[in-house]
Amino acid sequence: MLAVGTDVVAPRDPCVPPASTPTARRVLAVALLLVLAQTITRGVLAVDGNLYWDDLILTGRATALPLLSPEFLFHNHDGHFMPAAFLTAGVTTALAPLQWWAAAATLIGLQLLAALAVLRVLWLLLGPRPALLAVLALYLFAPLTLPAFAWWAAGLNSLPLQAALAWVAGDALLLARTGRRRYAVTGTVVTVVALAFFEKSVLVPFAAYALLALTLRVDGVAAPLRTAWREGRRLWLAAAAVVAVWAACYLAVATTGMRVPAPAEAAQFAHHGTSLGVVPAMLGGPWRWERWPPGPPWANPPTGLVVAGWIVLLGTLVVTLRCTQRTGWVWAAAAAYVAASEAAMMLARSGPGTTYEIAQTLRYTSDGAVVLAFGFALIVRAPRRADAGRVGAVARHLTRPVVATAIVLGLVASSLWSTVTFARSWHDNPGADYLATARASLAAHRDVPLLDQPVSLMTLLPVAAPWNSAAHVFAPLADRPEFASSTPELRALDESGRLVEATIGAVRWIGPGTEPGCGTRIGQAGAPVPLDGPVMIWEWTAQLNYFASVDGTVAVGLGAGEPVTVPVRRGLNRAYVRMYGTGTELSVRPLTPGLELCVGAGPVGVVVQGTVTVP
């Protein structure tokens, strides 16, 4: 254990009161009030949200697959390896199917956990000095974390990562301070949990090591890298073993599909992610958000804010380097983390169909807010230079309590305005109205089975197939009709989510048959029902106009395609049958003993809403 162990986690300033003083209690009380304020603010944002895009894929898979099955937990979701996120989504869906309040509750809980973990680290680095409140407020209200919080699927990745970054870093500091093994154990356990939520959590132990080493360097400890390794060795070795096992699982399950962008592309991604994303967010921006439905909002800061952000950032860099000792590597480490996040985004998401605005969604750099909070805390902790000159005079003026408080309040106000404008953009989600209307419409028409169909393009695009089908999206609901391969009444969900009457847009026609008054007679052995021409291989819907001798079931197929089972009723009726295949005839075979049918003419084609006039 370090001889100067207390200095690893406590401020060097001897004027800072100990944690048991009234000042310390006041600082802690205000810090907890700030966390409560963030919880309320983010809670309002979450409650006003709704299930969106990947959220519906998660809920659909949770219903279609057993909760603890490898197929469900170890699915490669767009390059992500996230069994704990799938498990959370599965449990939430089972308890409250397609209920947004349940998803919002998980977001609020995870955000609170992350906020408390960051407060813990700041307390370890700064102790109960008022400057802690400023750094904490900047993290709590930073717009950088907004987009990843509001979207459930993204929050299940990002929020556990943020919490783990802070918790494991705190455990590393406490392990170096006390030497107690329990901090190596809890740090390892949290790393395991974080990796189960999001593959980017592989950075957690590296960030913890960097924070410990930088803290030692700021405190003037010789050989900080070697000392950080020695004092945290038990945690680093355990984390290395965890990462090795996780890496084997990840490589066996996930297909990354990484692509190295051209230098010009990389420069554009970096510009959009840094100048139009991270830098304005450090001043509470972007203030404005744009959206191309059904895509998520992305930051669109005014040019003046971008310029001001760079001026303030570079000015802060100059002042802190000139006025504090040994903080150059702090800046370098924070910049490296943000750059690594942007590089990972480029490798995983760049491609011919990707716009540069994806970097402005801020989801890929949201965890950088935790690292930036670490960096500001270390700068506050660092000893001051005695020979700072005019720059030092400026710094002393800016750090006067009244001036510093005004600056922080201004940044928080700027951040809250960005939160308001983001909430307006996020609320403009056409998929939410579709889901609400469809739920009500399905509940009101439970009597007749429905043929499956893709949901509205504003809810899920075809690239999400097969999870963009109504049968998967609405599978969690109990109060709905059954989705089946045949139905006696043809209905479909329109673009607003209403269940409306539908018909078949004919591509081919079932022939009138050769037997007068019957059409094509189907005996117990079955018979082919010819079409008026061939159809290509596809999923077609046939209108089967029939007369049945008794109630029963028949098997209907198209060419060599897999036949589907269709219930039929005694007398003159019709059934709409969905089947996959190709060829020039349907095959119809009774499955019920004694059942015979007469099949008349009818269309074969695709389902369309409303009525169609056919010549």
Let me know if residue 576 belongs to a domain: yes
Could you report the per-residue pLDDT of 551-593, keeping only the tens digit for each?
999 999 998 889 999 999 999 999 999 999 999 999 999 999 9
Half-sphere exposure of 410 (CA within 13 A, CB side): 8
Beta strand pairing call for 298-299 and 571-590: unpaired
Both 460 and 423 in one domain: the answer is no
Tokens of 491: 């209905």
In the prediction, which pLDDT does 609 show?
A: 86
- pLDDT surpasses 80 at 12: no
Let me know if residue 538 belongs to a domain: yes
Let me know if residue 437 belongs to a domain: no
As a whole number of Å, the end-to-end CA separation of the chain is 90
Could you report the per-residue pLDDT of 211-227, keeping only the tens digit for each?
999 999 999 999 999 99
Could you report the per-residue pLDDT of 16-34, keeping only the tens digit for each?
445 568 888 999 999 999 9
Please give the single-letter amino acid code of residue 314: L
Q: Where residue 531 sits, what CATH number does that domain have?
A: 2.60.120
In the prediction, which pLDDT does 256 show?
A: 63
Both 365 and 473 in one domain: the answer is no
Bond from prior residue into 481 cis (ω within 30 degrees of 0): no
Burial of 571 (0-12, 13-18, 19+ CB in 10 A): exposed
Could you report the per-residue pLDDT of 423-467, keeping only the tens digit for each?
999 998 888 999 999 999 999 999 999 999 999 999 999 999 999
Domains held by the chain: number: 2
Please give the single-letter amino acid code of residue 598: C
Could you report the per-residue pLDDT of 252-310, keeping only the tens digit for each?
888 766 788 999 999 999 999 999 999 999 999 999 999 998 899 999 999 999 999 99
Bond from prior residue into 294 cis (ω within 30 degrees of 0): yes
Instruction: Compute how many other C-beta atoms are within 10 angstroms of the C-beta atom of residue 512.
Output: 15
Beta strand pairing call for 564-568 and 491-493: unpaired
Nearest to 317 by CA among 270, 362, 372, 237: 372
Both 392 and 529 in one domain: the answer is no
Q: Per-residue pLDDT averaged across 462-488, rounded?
A: 95
Both 24 and 115 in one domain: the answer is yes
Both 278 and 160 in one domain: the answer is yes
- pLDDT surpasses 70 at 1: no
Both 413 and 487 in one domain: the answer is no
Tell me the pTM: 0.92
In the prediction, which pLDDT does 69 show?
A: 96
> Reduced to 3 states, what is the DSSP secondary structure of residue 142?
coil
In the prediction, which pLDDT does 481 show?
A: 96
In the prediction, which pLDDT does 13 show?
A: 38
Q: Per-residue pLDDT averaged across 508-528, rounded?
A: 94
Q: Per-residue pLDDT averaged across 473-501, rounded?
A: 96
Cα separation, 495 vs 491, in Å, equals 13
In the prediction, which pLDDT does 18 show?
A: 57
DSSP string, 473-526: HTTT-SSSPPB-SEESS-EEE-TTS-EEEEEEEEEEEE---SBTTTBEEE-TT-
Let me know if residue 61 belongs to a domain: yes
Domain boundary among 412, 427, 442: 427
Both 260 and 355 in one domain: the answer is yes
Let me know if residue 121 belongs to a domain: yes
Whole domain around residue 515: which residue ranges? 455-615
Let me know if residue 204 belongs to a domain: yes
Q: What percentage of the chain carries pLDDT values higher than 90? A: 86
Both 77 and 173 in one domain: the answer is yes
- pLDDT surpasses 80 at 98: yes
Tell me the pLDDT of the chain averaged across its residues.
92
Could you report the per-residue pLDDT of 336-375, keeping only the tens digit for each?
999 999 999 999 888 877 899 999 999 999 999 999 999 9
Both 421 and 461 in one domain: the answer is no
Both 501 and 406 in one domain: the answer is no
Domain boundary among 427, 447, 480: 427
Angle at 180 between CA 175 and CA 182, to 5 degrees: 90
In the prediction, which pLDDT does 16 show?
A: 40
Both 496 and 535 in one domain: the answer is yes
In the prediction, which pLDDT does 393 show?
A: 73
Let me know if residue 565 belongs to a domain: yes
- pLDDT surpasses 60 at 15: no
Both 464 and 527 in one domain: the answer is yes
Domain boundary among 409, 427, 445: 427
For residues 417 and 21, which has the higher predicted lDDT (pLDDT)? 417
Let me know if residue 278 belongs to a domain: yes
Cα separation, 381 vs 122, in Å, equals 10
